[in-house]
Amino acid sequence: MNKFDQIAESEEFKELKRSKNRFIWPIAILFFIYYLAFPLMAGYAKPLMSHFLFGNITFGYLYGLTFYFVAWALAGIYVVKAKSFDKKVEEITEKYFEKGAS
């Protein structure tokens, strides 16, 4: 078994995979629902979407604009979180390649 297979089979890597999945999927799925709710509400909840919240800004516009900020924020969170995953990958590979394969 070469080192590559060892890493793929290792507990550390499986744990990393699990924690990555736990991070990615809930966000991806919740965001997807939050996003699809938007056109559905525009179709089925017209009074709410056309409701003027303050001055002449409707709920619908605010809801739409939140997507920009939420998308940027989530992207930022992903990048920060991905760095910590990188560190773990680094640790695992260091461990398996410590006798200098590279």
User: What are the two backbone dihedrals, phi and then psi, of residue 58, each rounded to the nearest 5 degrees?
Assistant: -90, 165
The CA-atom distances, in angstroms, between 93 and each of 22, 30, 55, 59, 101 are 22, 33, 58, 50, 10
Tell the burial category of 93 from Cβ atoms under 10 Å away from its Cβ (0-12, 13-18, 19+): middle
Query: Can residue 53 be called a binding residue for another protein (CB under 8 A)?
Result: no
**Which of 18, 26, 35, 84 lies at the binding interface for another protein (CB under 8 A)?**
35
Query: Can residue 82 be called a binding residue for another protein (CB under 8 A)?
Result: yes
d(Cα 55, Cα 43) in Å, to the nearest integer?
Answer: 23
**Which of 11, 33, 55, 98 lies at the binding interface for another protein (CB under 8 A)?**
55
Query: Can residue 38 be called a binding residue for another protein (CB under 8 A)?
Result: yes
Q: At what angle do helices 11-44 and 59-96 cross, to 10 degrees?
A: 170
Whichever of 22 and 61 has its CB closer to another protein, that residue is 61
Binding site for another protein (CB under 8 A): 2-5, 7-9, 13, 16-17, 20, 24, 27-28, 31-32, 35-36, 38-40, 42-44, 46, 49-50, 55-58, 60-61, 64-65, 67-68, 71-72, 74-76, 78-79, 82, 86, 89, 93, 97, 101-102
